[in-house]
């Protein structure tokens, strides 16, 4: 299997997860044979027809070049129809602070999916994959979240991505007043984890979660 095929498989899986559909559902939506998606994902199909791949890309709301581009995708430009959202992982945290280019994956979304939602400037949006069970059952391990990195204060209350010095974690934040002191209540929806209170300066808030996608099946 060559690198181009590996890239297509990786991005196909990512976009299926974003769209919340499985291989069978995607094949029906794209009107391709039932085995077509399975063959690509398994590596059996190494030279699928452009027409069918275009149908799959359209069904996922991404561009054909995105599915088949090389792994360094900073050169992918937003178009009239598509916008590319940077993925943020723990090792990218310093890049975020330095406002440098993203060295990891970008995920393609149709612009109307962004513009017809309460999102801000797409340049302020990142995708973060949930790692852990802090927010179960609201958010599950492996969910892909959309994070607005321009939202650094928990007003209004909501679910935020934090950097704890080791990695990215997700917590529910709420600003409270206690003895004339402004504090932040930090909680997890999973009741196995205790809540705590701290000052805003003690938190390293990456951004507010404004949406998420979950794999089906």
pLDDT at 74: 43
Range in 25-29, 112-116, 165-169, 200-204 with the lowest mean pLDDT = 112-116
190: three-class secondary structure by DSSP: coil
Q: Which fold has domain 127-213?
A: Umud Fragment, subunit A (2.10.109)
Domain residue ranges in the chain? 1-71, 127-213
Q: Is the pLDDT of residue 172 over 50?
A: yes
Helices (H), 31-165: 34-42, 50-60, 64-68, 93-98, 111-115
Angle (CA) 195-196-199 rounded to 5° is 145
Give yes or no for a contact between 173 and 181, defined as CB atoms under 8 angstroms apart.
no
Give yes or no for a contact between 64 and 94, defined as CB atoms under 8 angstroms apart.
no
pLDDT at 188: 96
Please identify, in words, the CATH class of the domain defined by 1-71. Answer: mainly alpha
pLDDT at 73: 47
Q: What is the pLDDT of the chain when averaged over all its residues?
A: 80
17: three-class secondary structure by DSSP: helix
Q: Left, alpha or beta for 163 (phi > 0: left; psi -120 to 50: alpha)?
A: beta
The more confidently predicted of residues 90 and 61 is 61
pLDDT in tens, 67-117: 776 444 444 445 556 667 788 876 665 555 544 444 455 666 666 655 555
DSSP 4: H
Mean pLDDT of 106-129: 68
């Amino acid at each position: 299997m060559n690198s181009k095929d590996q890239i297509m498989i990786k991005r196909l899986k990512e976009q299926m997860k974003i769209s919340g559909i499985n291989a069978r559902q995607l094949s029906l939506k794209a009107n391709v044979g039932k085995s077509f998606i399975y063959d690509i994902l398994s590596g059996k199909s190494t030279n699928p027809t452009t027409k069918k791949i275009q149908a799959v890309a359209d069904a996922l709301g991404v561009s054909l070049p995105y599915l088949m581009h090389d792994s360094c995708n900073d050169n992918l430009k937003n178009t009239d129809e598509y916008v590319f959202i940077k993925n943020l992982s723990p090792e990218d945290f310093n890049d975020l602070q330095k406002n440098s280019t993203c060295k990891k994956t970008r995920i393609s979304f149709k612009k109307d999916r962004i513009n017809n939602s309460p999102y801000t400037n797409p340049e302020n949006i990142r995708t973060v994959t949930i790692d852990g069970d802090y927010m179960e059952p609201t958010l599950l391990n492996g969910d892909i979240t959309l994070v607005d990195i321009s939202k650094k204060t928990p007003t209004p209350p909501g679910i935020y991505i934090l950097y704890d010095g080791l990695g990215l974690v997700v917590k529910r934040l709420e600003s409270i007043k206690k003895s004339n002191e402004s504090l932040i209540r930090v909680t997890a929806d999973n009741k196995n984890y205790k809540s705590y209170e701290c000052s805003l300066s003690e938190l390293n808030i990456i951004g507010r979660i404004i949406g998420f996608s979950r794999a089906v099946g």
